[in-house]
Chains A and B, each alone.
Chain A
Amino acid sequence: MCELPKRRFLSSLNPLRLVLAVLALAVVAAGWLLPELVSAIPIGAGLLTLVAAVLLPAVKEIEFGLSPGFKLSPALKDREAELRSVFELQRGDMEYCAHLLCPDPETARRLLQAAWSQAAAAWRGPLTPQLRVYTLCVLIRLIRKDEIWRGSGRGPLPEGGLLASLALEERIVVVLHEFANLTFAEIAGLTDRTTAEVLSSWAAAHALTRGPSLDGKPALEERPSPDEDLK
């Protein structure tokens, strides 16, 4: 469903880390040769060096996408600024999608913020264009959960939008295809459905959105009730 970039272990291997790792292991091996409790000093120092100078920086880089270096706070600030910059560029589209998907504007705002927060926490490695798709995926997941939590998978809320008369899955397909410019295959992968199911939802939704009515009103409004759509 929401796929994160794969961990790139090889990219974290640099000469400095390799040298430090070899040195740390050599110290551990040297400690092995020392008698009794004296051996604890080099073994402990070697293992701590391995953890602090090799393992943790690699984890920081691979898992959290933070810049290499020993200090955490500057790396976190850099990463936060980078994420904000990227999200800012995507902000307009993301807000449109959120408000089109959620009938309730307050819920749309809250879920979009949650999606940004989760994406910022989970995204590993460099910030690629895939981050937008991932954030959308998280947003879709949150909207689905919210719908389940509200006890209804479809139906307009008091302040429902124009798309509120569509079933949630149809709404998702319409918004992701028309406004997020995702292909049906991408939508299928993102929503964990088959392409045929996505196309089916698209067809059902398209019947209501394909053209204006004679009196100038969108066909969407002619739909009496979303419940009848299931019959």
Chain B
Amino acid sequence: MNRELRQRLLDEADVRSAGYPADLAGAVGAGMVRVRRKFMWASVTAVAVALALTVAFVAWRIAVIPPPPPTLESIAVTSVSQSLRPAATIPLTATGRYSDGSSRRLRDGVEWASSNPAVATVDSAGVVTAVAAGTAELTATLTGVSGQLVLVVQAGGAKLTGVHVSPETATVDQGGILQLLAEGSYSDGSRGKLKGPVQWTSSNPGIVAVDGTGIAAAVAPGTATITASQAGLRGTSVITVPPAPKVVTALSVNPAQLTLKEGQTAQLEAVATYSDGSSATVGNVTWETSPPGSTVAEVDATGLVTARGIGSTAIVATLPGAGGQLLTGRADVAVVPTVKSIKVSPAGPLQPEPGTTVQLTAVVSYSDGSRGSVVEWASSRPLVASVDSSGLVTAVKEGDVEITATADGVTGNPVTILVRTSPD
């Protein structure tokens, strides 16, 4: 570029920039506003992401890692009394306090120990027995954590405050016996054997009898209260003798007689009679024909009988009895042939005069080829002409009527009767 042109261009640019000066401060300020906005947006996003990550971490941690089981921190040993008389026994209670703040009674795995077995002993169940006057420290230990209780055994005797019978309630079958045990509770909180004689009585010896040693005998169904008494103090036990279970003494089949036509079915039911005289339908019986494999009828496991051929057979239900014997019930089943057709004669139409009679005859043909005449007669209009059970039609007044004969649902050919008065 030649120098002159270059200078002209610079002059021109100089004039223009002087005429249109750029606002540098405003431009940079606008840029910094954008920077501030971008940074604030980045900060908010970062904090939101951090919080979301926290929630996700904690949720994941709770879902993945189960909380550790609480650890046993201390054991407290307690009893109803810390002062016992010799020979008295009381149960100790060990209560554990755990790291999660909870506490619960300790039962399994607790090791019990006495610091002075000559004064008091303690068994594995935590029952302490006072031996002689003195002081003993009883310790319960579980997983290395211990708790103590100081027990004082005093030489002086404690006062009897109550009598208890165990078991407090019991159920004994008729004819059975039960040994009852009477214990005393004492003023030092202990419980133990009673000294001296105990008087045993029954509220209803007809139901439960008791002897002087506390043996109760169940005599008859019912409930009786057994009482042990000493020095005016009483303890009771309620004994229930349930009624003897009823047993099946007989089995019958209902209906005991059954007549079926070929192809018909009928439901049999087995009825059990019990030792208390009651009866009820039973379902757990075995059904079979007698003799087995009869061609006359067959029966399924539910007692449904199906007539197969003409003849007679028996259906037997069997049920095991209480003594091991088999109880049976029986139903006699007769299968008769079915009506094939009925032919009525004369076939008609007949035209009697009012007041006259006409005798009709029906011949019934059965499935086994035999014939019979037992039918039911019917008139379509008895006011015009009636028919009696022997097929005798009596014309009453003028009109038309149909007489039919029916047996076992089969109807014979209808006979038309036209009752007309003679013109003469």
Contacts and interface: CB of A to CB of B under 8 A. Distances in A.
A209 B57 CA distance: 69
Given A43-B54, A59-B42, A60-B39, A106 B28 contact: no
B20 A39 contact: no
Contacts of A72: 36, 39
A112 B50 contact: no
B8 interface: yes
Interface string B25-39: 111111110111011
B9 interface: yes
Interface in A159-218: 161-163, 174, 178-179, 206, 209-212, 216, 218
Interface of B: 1-2, 4-6, 8-10, 12-14, 16-17, 19-32, 34-36, 38-39, 42-43, 46-47, 49-51, 53-55, 57-58, 61-62, 67-68
Contacts of B47: 48, 51-52
B171 to A, nearest CB: 49
Contact of A113 (B4, B6, B26): B26
A87 B12 contact: no
Contacts of B29: 80
Interface in A59-88: 59-60, 63-64, 66, 72, 76, 79-80, 83-84, 87-88
B136 to A, nearest CB: 41
Contact of A105 (B10, B16, B24, B31): B16
Interface residues of A, number: 64
B35 A79 contact: yes
B28 A48 contact: no
B43 A121 contact: no
Contacts of B68: 35
B24 A99 contact: no
A85 B48 CA distance: 36
A48 B50 contact: yes
A44 interface: yes
Nearest to B4: A212
A100 B7 CA distance: 12
A178 B28 CA distance: 27
A56 B38 CA distance: 12
Interface of A: 28, 31-32, 35-37, 39-40, 43-44, 47-48, 50-52, 55-56, 59-60, 63-64, 66, 72, 76, 79-80, 83-84, 87-88, 91, 95-96, 98-100, 105-106, 108-109, 112-114, 116-121, 161-163, 174, 178-179, 206, 209-212, 216, 218-220
A99 B13 contact: yes
A106 B62 CA distance: 65
Given A51-B47, A210-B1, A218-B8, A109 B67 contact: no
A80 B13 contact: no
A76 B34 CA distance: 11
Contacts of A43: 54, 57-58, 61
B22 A44 contact: no
Given A36-B67, A56-B46, A161-B16, A87 B24 contact: yes
Nearest to B54: A44
A93 B6 CA distance: 14
A39 B68 CA distance: 14
A98 B17 CA distance: 9
Contact of A37 (B9, B38, B58): B58
Given A35-B67, A96-B10, A118 B31 contact: yes
Contacts, number: 166
Contacts of B50: 44, 47-48, 50-51
B20 A109 contact: yes
Given A31-B57, A100-B12, A121-B38, 11 more contacts: A40-B55, A47-B57, A52-B47, A76-B32, A99-B12, A99-B16, A108-B20, A113-B23, A163-B9, A209-B5, A218-B2
Contacts of A66: 35, 39
Nearest 3 interchain pairs by C-beta: A120-B31, A116-B27, A121-B34
Nearest to A80: B32
Nearest to B39: A64
A100 B5 CA distance: 12
Contacts of A114: 27
A99 B17 contact: yes
A67 to B, nearest CB: 13
B17 A117 contact: no
Contacts of A83: 28, 31-32
Contact of B42 (A32, A36, A37, A56): A56
26 contacts: A31-B57, A40-B54, A43-B58, A51-B50, A55-B46, A64-B38, A76-B32, A79-B32, A80-B29, A87-B28, A99-B12, A99-B16, A105-B19, A108-B16, A113-B22, A113-B23, A117-B27, A120-B27, A120-B34, A121-B35, A162-B9, A162-B12, A179-B10, A209-B5, A218-B4, A218-B5
B383 to A, nearest CB: 98
Contacts of A206: 1
Nearest to B43: A56
A91 B24 contact: yes
B177 to A, nearest CB: 58
Contacts of B43: 56
A163 B55 CA distance: 63
Nearest to B6: A178
A100 B12 CA distance: 8
A55 B8 CA distance: 53
A72 B51 CA distance: 22
A47 B13 contact: no
B2 A209 contact: yes
Contact of B35 (A32, A109, A112, A120): A120
A43 to B, nearest CB: 5
Contacts of A56: 42-43, 46
